[in-house]
């Protein structure tokens, strides 16, 4: 246990994030732990489908690419790795990482946290948060994963494992657990739980707190955005922290970047709910210390939710899309004519159809799309259908604009894919049984513990 403080970094904010900044953080950050957040709401459902097709798959396909350059510096610096990249199959992910260690001669103990998959226990009559209708009315359900928290992750850290791989753990819990482990925080200390959750929330999107997703040349410049460094927190035993980044990296950490991330995806700042605590951020102080250092503190915690949130994936049909561009004099009028033609040709073929002109109104609609005519614009047509063949008609009709649409169209792209919808509901805590499986490379046994 460390009573003076801990250092924790974030090396990925989503499944497709960049890899190099994580290596830099482990090499130079003097970290106790680094977390990689790789699991969006939809990602775990898509992973569950891949696991159905291949029982050895279903974890983040980028995991090997991400972990391979990290294993040696992790072992050399004594930094521990926590990641939810196990997605729908943390056990297979852990086995793969252990194999990577063996191949590269790095001795690493890997622990998998399993048990977030509650598909066989899901109450299908429970209402979906999104529309209040019972889950079963939305279509064939393919996955159900409960958001697990520090209760599940701490036992894995206590085994001494260098790498801990989870499935659907709540994002801030990936940070709170190693902080608790390092600083000896008591789970009954709600303000410490809230402080660690706040730190996790600020770090979890990686580059978003260091100037990523922030730059607007002029009012919001970000130096060296191409070399954006990822964040780390210097955490005191009392839960106060400094958010910062490594010297020499691009980006910026100041009051503006931290407040944008503080408010990100927050639906109730009085009670930001995780499996571990209800974080009240209305008393949080953000102090710009200069030099890419921002102090945060003042998080308050209340009792954690009684039930766990569960993310439910269901088959929602097939999305068909087609795009074509027009440029030069009259481009907008030709795109509008093309839109009318496609709409007429697809009339009644799909239950839902959307036609936009990218460069004009595809993001915010017509009301805000005032001003001059763009030099070039791109027609975009998207539809949702019950079967793949019908969804493909959208792209086929957009492609047909080449020879039977307005003049000068170019650059057609067409695609059709299955849509996995995601709904949220809750599950009783006692329905969720997590356990830790340790894979130690000193022998071939897999030890199982509660």
Partner 1 sequence: MKVRLYDIAHARAGDKGNLNTIALIPYDPAWYPALCAAVTPRRVAEHLSDRVSGEVVRHRLDNVHALIFVCPRAGDDTVTTSLHLDTHGKSLGSALLELTIETAGPADGTAGSR
- In the complex, minimum distance from the CB of residue 424 to partner 1, in angstroms, rounded to a whole number: 6
The two tokens of residue 419 are: 């849509």
CB nearer partner 1, residue 65 or residue 352: 352
CB nearer partner 1, residue 114 or residue 339: 339
- In the complex, minimum distance from the CB of residue 74 to partner 1, in angstroms, rounded to a whole number: 31
Give the rounded distance of the alpha carbon of 269 from its chain centre. Answer: 20
CB nearer partner 1, residue 75 or residue 353: 353
Token pair 């939305």 is at which residue? 138
The two tokens of residue 250 are: 């691009």
CB nearer partner 1, residue 264 or residue 431: 264
CB nearer partner 1, residue 102 or residue 363: 363
- In the complex, minimum distance from the CB of residue 242 to partner 1, in angstroms, rounded to a whole number: 16
In degrees, rounded to 5, the angle at the alpha carbon of residue 69 between the alpha carbons of residues 248 and 39 is 90
CB nearer partner 1, residue 20 or residue 41: 41
Contacts of 393 (CB under 8 A, 6+ apart): 320, 346, 349, 350, 383, 385
Mapped onto helix, strand or coil, the DSSP state of residue 40 is: coil
Distance CA(207)–CA(296), nearest Å, equals 18
Helix (H) or strand (E) holding 24: helix 20-28
- In the complex, minimum distance from the CB of residue 179 to partner 1, in angstroms, rounded to a whole number: 22
- In the complex, minimum distance from the CB of residue 82 to partner 1, in angstroms, rounded to a whole number: 23
Helices (H), 295-437: 331-345, 388-399, 401-404
CB nearer partner 1, residue 105 or residue 372: 372
Distance CA(216)–CA(222), nearest Å, equals 8
Contacts of 262 (CB under 8 A, 6+ apart): 201, 202, 281, 284, 286
Distance CA(55)–CA(53), nearest Å, equals 7
CB nearer partner 1, residue 19 or residue 273: 273
CB nearer partner 1, residue 108 or residue 362: 362
- In the complex, minimum distance from the CB of residue 256 to partner 1, in angstroms, rounded to a whole number: 7
- In the complex, minimum distance from the CB of residue 339 to partner 1, in angstroms, rounded to a whole number: 14
Interacting residues toward partner 1 by CB under 8 A: 41-42, 129-131, 213-214, 216, 219-220, 255-256, 259-270, 281-286, 298, 316-317, 319, 352-354, 356, 358, 362-368, 380, 382-384, 419-424
- In the complex, minimum distance from the CB of residue 76 to partner 1, in angstroms, rounded to a whole number: 37
- In the complex, minimum distance from the CB of residue 416 to partner 1, in angstroms, rounded to a whole number: 13
Closest-CA residue to 179 (of 149, 212, 148, 146): 149
Token pair 């503080």 is at which residue? 262
CB nearer partner 1, residue 117 or residue 321: 321
Q: Tell me how crowded residue 278 is: count the other CB atoms within 10 A of its CB.
A: 20
Quickly list DSSP for 63-75.
Answer: HHHHHHHHHHHHH
- In the complex, minimum distance from the CB of residue 348 to partner 1, in angstroms, rounded to a whole number: 17
Cβ–Cβ under 8 Å, residues 250 and 299: no
Contacts of 141 (CB under 8 A, 6+ apart): 119, 122, 124, 135, 312, 313, 314
């Amino acid at each position: 246990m460390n009573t003076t403080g801990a250092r924790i970094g974030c090396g990925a904010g989503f499944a497709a994030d960049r890899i190099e900044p994580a290596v830099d953080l482990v090499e130079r950050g003097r970290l106790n732990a680094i977390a990689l957040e790789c699991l969006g709401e939809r990602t775990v459902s898509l992973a569950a489908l891949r696991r159905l097709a291949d029982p050895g798959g279903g974890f983040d396909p980028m995991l090997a690419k991400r972990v391979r350059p990290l294993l040696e510096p992790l072992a050399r610096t004594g930094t521990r790795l926590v990641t939810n990249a196990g997605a729908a199959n943390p056990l297979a992910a852990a086995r793969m990482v252990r194999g990577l260690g063996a191949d590269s001669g790095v001795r690493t103990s890997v622990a998998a946290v399993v048990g977030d998959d509650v598909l066989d226990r899901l109450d299908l009559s429970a209402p979906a948060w999104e529309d209040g209708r019972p889950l079963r009315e939305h279509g064939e359900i393919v996955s159900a994963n409960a958001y697990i928290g520090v209760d599940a992750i701490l036992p894995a850290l206590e085994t001494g494992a260098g790498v801990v791989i989870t499935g659907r753990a709540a994002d801030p819990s990936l940070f709170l657990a190693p902080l608790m482990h390092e600083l000896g925080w008591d789970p009954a200390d709600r303000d410490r739980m809230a402080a660690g959750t706040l730190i996790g929330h600020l770090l979890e999107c990686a580059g978003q707190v260091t100037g990523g997703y922030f730059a607007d040349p002029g009012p919001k410049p970000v130096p060296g955005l191409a070399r954006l460094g990822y964040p780390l927190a210097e955490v005191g035993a009392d839960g106060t922290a400094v958010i910062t980044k490594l010297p020499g990296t691009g980006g910026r950490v100041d009051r503006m970047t931290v407040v944008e991330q503080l408010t990100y995806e927050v639906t109730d700042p009085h009670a930001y709910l995780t499996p571990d605590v209800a974080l009240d951020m209305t008393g949080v102080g953000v102090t710009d210390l200069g030099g890419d250092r921002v102090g945060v503190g003042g998080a308050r915690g209340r009792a954690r939710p009684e039930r766990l949130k569960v993310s439910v994936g269901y088959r929602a049909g097939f999305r068909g899309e087609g795009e074509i561009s027009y440029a030069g004099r009259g481009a907008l009028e030709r795109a509008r004519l093309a839109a009318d033609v496609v709409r007429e040709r697809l009339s009644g073929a799909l239950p839902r159809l959307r036609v936009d002109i990218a460069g004009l109104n595809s993001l915010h609609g017509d009301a805000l799309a005032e001003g001059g005519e763009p030099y070039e614009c791109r027609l975009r047509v998207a539809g949702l259908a019950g079967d793949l063949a019908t969804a493909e008609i959208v792209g086929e009709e957009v492609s047909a604009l080449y020879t039977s649409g307005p003049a000068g169209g170019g650059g057609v792209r067409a695609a059709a894919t299955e849509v996995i919808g995601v709904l949220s509901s809750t599950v009783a805590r006692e329905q969720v049984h997590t356990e830790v499986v340790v894979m130690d490379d000193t022998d071939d046994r897999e030890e199982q513990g509660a």
